[in-house]
Structures are given as structure tokens and as C-alpha cells.
Amino acid sequence: MKLWNTIPLKENMADEAEIGTEVNDIIFSKNDNVNSPPHYKYGKKETIDVIKDCMTNDEYHGYLKGNVLKYISRYKFKGEPLEDLKKAQWYLDRLVKEVE
């Protein structure tokens, strides 16, 4: 099973990207807890990419769908409801790209 992509990725791309810069189809802003949370950027790959590499397509689609459901079902009960809805949208957008 292949765990790492052979294309070298720059560490902490979001940290170095200018506000409004697009990297890998993501537009970054400072402290972006939706598109690139700082605690998911250690190492050479984003955690979501490592997860994808370790799963079949069906498993990965289920993972994305589960995260959409998780964030939608709890957005009213946490401190940042809009942030949770944006996270749900992020996972849904990722699932749509996978299916296209």
C-alpha cells in the first residue's frame, strides 16, 4: 500500500501562502481553521491526504460523508456554529471533487 505521494510538498504551505493565495485548489487566509487547521499541517502532507492514501475510494468517500454528517449534526451545540458548517461544506466539496 502506497502511503506517500512521490511529489514533494512544501511544509506548512498555508503558513507561507499570502492571504487570498490559492494552493491546491484552496484559498488560504491566516489561521484558517476550516481549510487548513494548523494542527493538521505537521510533516510533508496534510493529514487528509495521508488518510486518503490509506483507504480505498469507497472507504474515503464514507469518511468524507461521515465528517459532513458530524459537523452538520453538532453545529448548534458548539461555540462556533458557522465554522462547523464551513467544515461540513469543506468535506462535502472534497467529496464532490472525488466523485466528479
Please report, for the chain, the start and end positions of each structural domain, with discontinuous segments joined by +: 55-100
pTM: 0.61
Q: Grid coordinates in use for 99?
A: 466523485
Other Cβ atoms less than 10 A from the Cβ of 33: the count is: 14
The helix (run of H) or strand (run of E) holding residue 98 is helix 81-99
pLDDT digits (tens, 9 = 90+) for 42-67: 667 888 999 999 999 999 999 999 99
Torsion of CA 53, 58, 60, 66, to 10 degrees: -170
Q: Are strands 22-23 and 26-27 parallel, antiparallel or unpaired?
A: antiparallel
Is the pLDDT at 27 greater than 90, yes or no? no
